[in-house]
Structure 1
Amino acid sequence: MSDLILHHYPTSPFAEKIRLVLGFKQLAYRSVYIPAILPKPDVLALTGGYRKTPLLQIGADIYCDTALICDVLEHRQPLPSLYPPQHKGLARILAQWADTSLFWAAMAHATQPAGLADMFGGLPPEAAKAFGEDRRAMSQNMTRLRPADATAALKSYLRRLSESLETQHYLIDATPGLADFAAYHPLWFIRVRTPSMAGVLDAFPSVLAWMDRMAAIGHGLPDKLAGADAVAIAAAAEPLAVAGQTFQDEHGIALGSRVTVAAESFGTDPTEGELVAATRMHYTLRREDPRAGTVHVHFPRIGYVLKPV
């Protein structure tokens, strides 16, 4: 049985990104469905604060943020690669744009009244209210696009994607790569979760054809697992050793210090722990939890803020 555990829920766009990456690499994994909003007791037992979706768990190691998760999966299964050999830097840059600028334009477009009716029309009013309050709490101090501005930006972004996809099947290379998975998931949300708002895609047939190719990749080989069982797996395991990793200090914070790591903008709930690694790519915190035991929680450097306690 696979030791990869994906904590996610079906309608999460960033989880769809990772589900497709797992499908692309034909990886077996255990699938833990988590709540879309708080409370998330099993998630917080593992992360200590971070609550965005998805998480990747391998034993007592918890990997946060899809940018880092993609790197972990690439290391686990190098082929087929997410990073075109001749365009590794370009792939990362384009993926970061897609996960931020494209994503937020797509979300603001999708969550106009007709889109919200698609999302919550069959649910009691309190479900929509609870979701809205949860997301407002996660986006405090963020500048959100107004719907008209978001739709205008989205159309411009779609034209740019279309220009690339009119002459090739994928954004950078002859096969799907990191940029494709990052650009796909915000548009998947519009098309699948808010079909009333999906007309914006109709003017871009090359984008729609590319989306069909991406969807055909599938979600790999999942096997269901309960959240409490995933926490128990962490408690029974030991985190991977971090000794020997190159320490890159940009903050004047020594290894062994008590620190917090939090996202820069959306979902800024901090995780506190002992800083046990700070490489050029990621931070690792060691923390203790009554249920999960000793865990290592990993974050990418880009998009996250490290502070001393």
Structure 2
Amino acid sequence: MSEIIFHHYPNSPFSEKVRLIFGFKKVAWKSVIIPAIMPKPNVVALTGGYRRTPVMQIGADIYCDTALIADVLERLAPAPSLYPTECAGLARTLAQWADSTLFWTMITHLFQPAGMKSALGNMTPEQIKAFGADRAAFRGNMPRMSLPEATGSLTEYLRRLENMLADGKPYLLGAQPCIADFSVYHSVWFLRSAPAVAEVLEVAPKLKEWAGRMEAFGHHEFDRMNAEQALEIARNSRAADTSHLPFVDFHGIAPGERVAIMPNDYGIDPVEGELVISTDNELAVRRTDPLAGEVVVHFPRVGFQLKKA
């Protein structure tokens, strides 16, 4: 197997979700630090336009969205599992809620002026302003909550998560951590990075203890790599053979047709290419870029839309 290359930046919540999965599974990885805001020319060369963070690269295969990245890591390192048999469906459903509803509620609470200054304290005022403008464009026409609504909802969500730990179990769904724990954790982690607004966590003392257990997994072993090295690896690699995968068609689109794939909620930047994978839970296109060469860009089916280009 080619080495795992992870494109991320330090204070990205979704990146922390995957970094902790590396630690949980004890998977070694290469770290490529990318810009927190646009432009991201080297990332876009790999993805074809997708700009969310993080992105995982294995040779010429580019994996987008942490839900799919977690599935790929599960295939590569099955034990310990992110999806225990007894709660796999519930774990995935709770993770999807945490990655969407919980995350955006937390972001609205945190990105009040005191919270932004606290979480992004290493940035200058001009950089913080640019970050805010970038994220506003990124969210596009997504519905927005007011700060009181977000704080009130977040407080209730934290109480519900606290209740899940009330019987003394160490993790949200049992004795072992699962994908739901990692998805909830990255929002709690980001809140803890902003002490000015993190007092909302005081309603959930058991959840704070749980967060300490999650943090202890760490990030395992990684080495630094620069973006040019990652692009060179993509150019000199061939994507994995996926011809054995069943083709599942919900759109009336055949393998090899030119399509566009994009998120269905925010950061709606279409990635165009030749459709090469359409399974129950994964979509992928083959595309060519002057910097990255021929790559295959993978997406989860849930949360993304597929259209003829």
TM-score range, shorter chain: over 0.9
Instruction: Provide the secondary structure at the position in 2 that maps to 1:253.
Output: coil
Q: CA deviation at 1:28?
A: 0.4
Structure 1, 127-136 or 16-25: larger mean CA deviation: 127-136
1:204 alignment counterpart: 204
Q: Secondary structure at the match of 1:195?
A: coil
Aligned to 2:264: 264
Q: Which residue of 1 aligns with 2:30?
A: 30
Name which of structure 1's ranges 261-270 and 52-61 shifts more when overlaid on structure 2: 261-270
Aligned to 1:174: 175
Q: Distance in 1 between matches of 2:122 and 2:248?
A: 50
Report if aligned partners of 2:6, 2:29 keep a CA contact under 8 Å in 1: yes
Aligned length: 308
Whole-Å separation in 2 of the counterparts to 1:15 and 1:8: 6
- 1:1-309, aligned counterparts within 5 Å? 3-167=3-167, 168-192=169-193, 194-309=194-309
Q: After superposition, what is the alpha-carbon deviation per residue over 1:5-27, rounded to whole angstroms, capped at 9, x for unaligned?
A: 11000000000000000000011
Find the aligned partners of 1:69 and 1:130 in 2 and give their Cα distance.
29
Contact 1:84 1:173 in 2 (8 A): no
What TM-score do the two structures reach when normalised by structure 1? 0.97
How far has the Cα of 1:141 moved from its partner? 1.2
Contact 2:64/2:299 (8 A) holds in 1:
yes
CA contact (8 A) 2:234 2:295 kept: yes
Gaps of 5+ in 2: none
Instruction: Give the superposed CA RMSD.
Output: 1.1
- The CA distance in 1 between the partners of 2:289 and 2:120, in whole Å, is 35
- Mapped to 2, the partners of 1:121 and 1:85 lie a distance apart of 42
Q: Retained in 1: the 8 A contact 2:109–2:151?
A: yes
What's the TM-score once normalised by structure 2's chain length?
Answer: 0.97
Given that 1:15 and 1:54 are in contact with CA atoms closer than 8 Å, whether structure 2 keeps it comes out as yes
Q: What is the rounded CA distance, in whole Å, between the counterparts of 1:121 and 1:282 in structure 2?
A: 38
Q: Could you tell me how far apart the structure 2 residues matched to 1:69 and 1:247 are?
A: 20
Amino acid corresponding to residue 71 of structure 1 in structure 2: D
Would the aligned equivalents of 2:7 and 2:31 in 1 still touch at CA under 8 Å? yes
For residue 204 of structure 1, report the CA deviation from its aligned partner: 1.2
Which structure 1 segments of 5+ residues have no match? none
Alignment deviations for residues 239-287 of structure 1 (CA, whole Å, 9 cap, x no partner): 0112121111111111111111111112111111110110001101000
Q: Partners of 2:298 and 2:53 in 1: how far apart?
A: 14
Structure 2 distance, partners of 1:224, 1:52, is: 21
Runs of 4+ in structure 1 over 6 Å off: none
Q: Which moved more, 1:36-45 or 1:116-125?
A: 116-125
Contact 1:47 1:271 in 2 (8 A): yes
2:28–2:221 CA contact under 8 A, matched in 1: yes
Range moving further from structure 2, 268-277 or 114-123:
114-123
Q: Deviations over 1:71-126 (max 9, x none)?
A: 00000000000011111100100000000111011111111111012134553322
Secondary structure (helix, strand or coil) at the match of 1:128 reads helix
Q: Tell whether the 8 Å contact from 1:2 to 1:30 is kept in structure 2 after alignment.
A: no
Identity over aligned pairs, percent: 52
Kept in 2, the 8 Å contact 1:21–1:219? The answer is yes
Q: Distance in 2 between matches of 1:200 and 1:133?
A: 26
Structure 2: which amino acid aligns with 1:165?
L
Distance in 1 separating the partners of 2:285 and 2:262: 12
Deviations 1:126-151 (A, max 9, x none): 21121112111111110021111111
Give the partner amino acid of 2:184: A
Whether the aligned pair in 2 keeps the contact of 1:287 and 1:295 (CA below 8 Å) is yes
The code of the aligned residue for 1:84 comes to: P
* Aligned counterparts of 1:307 and 1:134: Cα–Cα separation in 2: 26
1:219 counterpart letter in structure 2: H
SS in structure 1 of the partner of residue 185 of structure 2: helix
Contact 1:2/1:28, CA 8 A, preserved across alignment: no
**SS of equivalent residue, structure 2 residue 276:** strand
Deviation at 1:2, TM superposition (A): 6.4
3-state DSSP of counterpart to 2:265: coil
**d(CA) in 2 for partners of 1:34, 1:172:** 34
Could you say if the C-alpha distance between residues 122 and 26 of structure 1 is closer, same or farther in structure 2, counting changes exceeding 3 Å? Answer: closer
